[in-house]
């Protein structure tokens, strides 16, 4: 297989059933394909980093991020019975921290509300905002995979498609919120805590995919789930941007 360049990925051999990829080729190609649309290229990211995004849009983003924890992350509980023992324990620990919090930090949904409140809203106002249709795809897709016994796909949708793209986004957004909007470290903590946390969660997803995708069919299924996650995550931000900024925003769609 020739070297990938500028994120280019060729899946022709896979589509024709002529697999000449090595194991490493496949995962490197998938990572490059996902990275073709990093969240740091999204208008929401650029708007926060340069200080041009409206506070209303930041508030709406945080309201949706709250749902991605209470409804999205919590849906991963459905795959714990299906996952191998070491992953069961890791997933349970991750879910507990996100949904309940620890002695060092509140739950991540509470952190999202705190960050949104710093943009000029009450937590009750944010808590009562409806879940956008683009956000609802998160728990619906995870649940659909779980009900079919496809725990690796459900995990890949979240860990590879979403969390792996979130770390760089959170790094820039944390700095932007503090520099341009006057957020304190505590108020921006939802984003700063995800820089390291989602790096670990993403590693769990990639390792599980490599270890348990033992057939070409399974690899392709995980690939599609990962791209579905990336597209859902991007499109949720686009819906937030369009609602808050009243401007059109690019959407992603799977080609196949």
**Domains with residue ranges and CATH for the chain:** 1-36 (no CATH), 40-245 (1.20.910.10)
Dihedral sign of CA atoms 67, 70, 122, 174 in order: negative
- DSSP annotation of 160 reads I
pLDDT surpassing 80 at residue 11: no
- What interhelical angle do 108-117 and 85-99 show, nearest 10? 30
- Residues 142 and 129: their CA atoms lie apart, in Å, by 22
- Residues 180 and 240: their CA atoms lie apart, in Å, by 20
- Residues 142 and 64: their CA atoms lie apart, in Å, by 17
Section 134-148 average pLDDT = 98
Minimal CA–CA distance to 147: which of 224, 75, 230? 75
Please give the C-alpha separations between residue 17 and each of 1, 11, 27, 189, 218, in angstroms, as whole numbers: 15, 10, 17, 47, 14
Q: In this structure, what token pair is assigned to residue 3?
A: 């070297």
- Residues 230 and 254: their CA atoms lie apart, in Å, by 10
- Residues 114 and 107: their CA atoms lie apart, in Å, by 11
Out of 44-53, 96-105, 118-127, 192-201, which region has the weakest mean confidence (pLDDT)?
192-201
pLDDT surpassing 80 at residue 88: yes
In this structure, the number of other CB atoms found within 10 A of the CB of residue 96 comes to 12
In this structure, the number of other CB atoms found within 10 A of the CB of residue 8 comes to 12
The answer to whether 171 and 198 are in contact (CB under 8 A) is no
Minimal CA–CA distance to 244: which of 232, 234, 252, 236? 236
Backbone angles phi, psi at 18, to 5 degrees: -110, 70
Residue with the bigger pLDDT between 6 and 253: it is 253
Which residues, 6 or more positions from 239, have their beta carbon under 8 angstroms from its beta carbon? 64, 132, 133, 134, 135, 249
As a dihedral over the C-alpha atoms of residue 135, residue 139, residue 144, residue 149, rounded to 10 degrees, the angle is 140
Which residues, 6 or more positions from 164, have their beta carbon under 8 angstroms from its beta carbon? 34, 198, 202, 205, 206
Scan for tokens 């795959």, then name that residue: 79
pLDDT at 9: 46
pLDDT surpassing 60 at residue 252: yes
pLDDT at 103: 86
pLDDT surpassing 60 at residue 8: no
pLDDT in tens, 71-82: 999 999 999 999
Residue with the bigger pLDDT between 203 and 118: it is 118
Residue with the bigger pLDDT between 1 and 54: it is 54
pLDDT in tens, 176-218: 999 999 999 999 999 999 988 768 888 899 999 999 999 999 9
């Amino acid at each position: 297989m020739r070297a990938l360049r500028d994120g280019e990925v060729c899946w022709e051999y896979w589509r024709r059933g002529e697999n000449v990829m090595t194991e490493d080729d496949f995962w490197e190609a998938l990572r490059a394909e996902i990275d073709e649309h990093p969240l740091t290229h999204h208008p929401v990211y650029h708007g926060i980093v340069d200080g041009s995004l409206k506070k209303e849009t930041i508030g709406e983003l945080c309201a949706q991020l709250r749902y991605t924890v209470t409804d999205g992350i919590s849906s991963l509980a459905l795959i714990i019975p299906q996952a191998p023992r070491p992953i069961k324990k890791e997933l349970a620990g991750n879910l507990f921290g996100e949904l309940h919090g620890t002695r060092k930090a509140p739950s991540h949904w509470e952190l999202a509300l705190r960050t949104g409140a710093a943009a000029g809203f009450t937590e009750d106002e944010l808590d009562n905002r409806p879940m956008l249709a683009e956000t609802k795809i998160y728990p619906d897709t995870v649940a659909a995979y779980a009900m079919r016994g496809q725990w690796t796909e459900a995990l890949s949708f979240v860990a590879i498609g979403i969390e792996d793209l979130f770390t760089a986004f959170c790094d820039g957004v944390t700095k932007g919120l503090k520099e341009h909007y006057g957020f304190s470290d505590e108020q921006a903590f939802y984003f700063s805590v995800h820089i390291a946390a989602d790096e670990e969660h993403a590693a769990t997803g990639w390792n599980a995919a490599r270890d348990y995708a033992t057939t070409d069919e399974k690899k392709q299924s995980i690939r599609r789930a990962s791209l579905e996650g990336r597209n859902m995550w991007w499109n949720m931000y686009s819906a937030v941007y369009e609602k808050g900024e009243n401007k059109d925003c690019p959407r992603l769609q799977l080609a196949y």
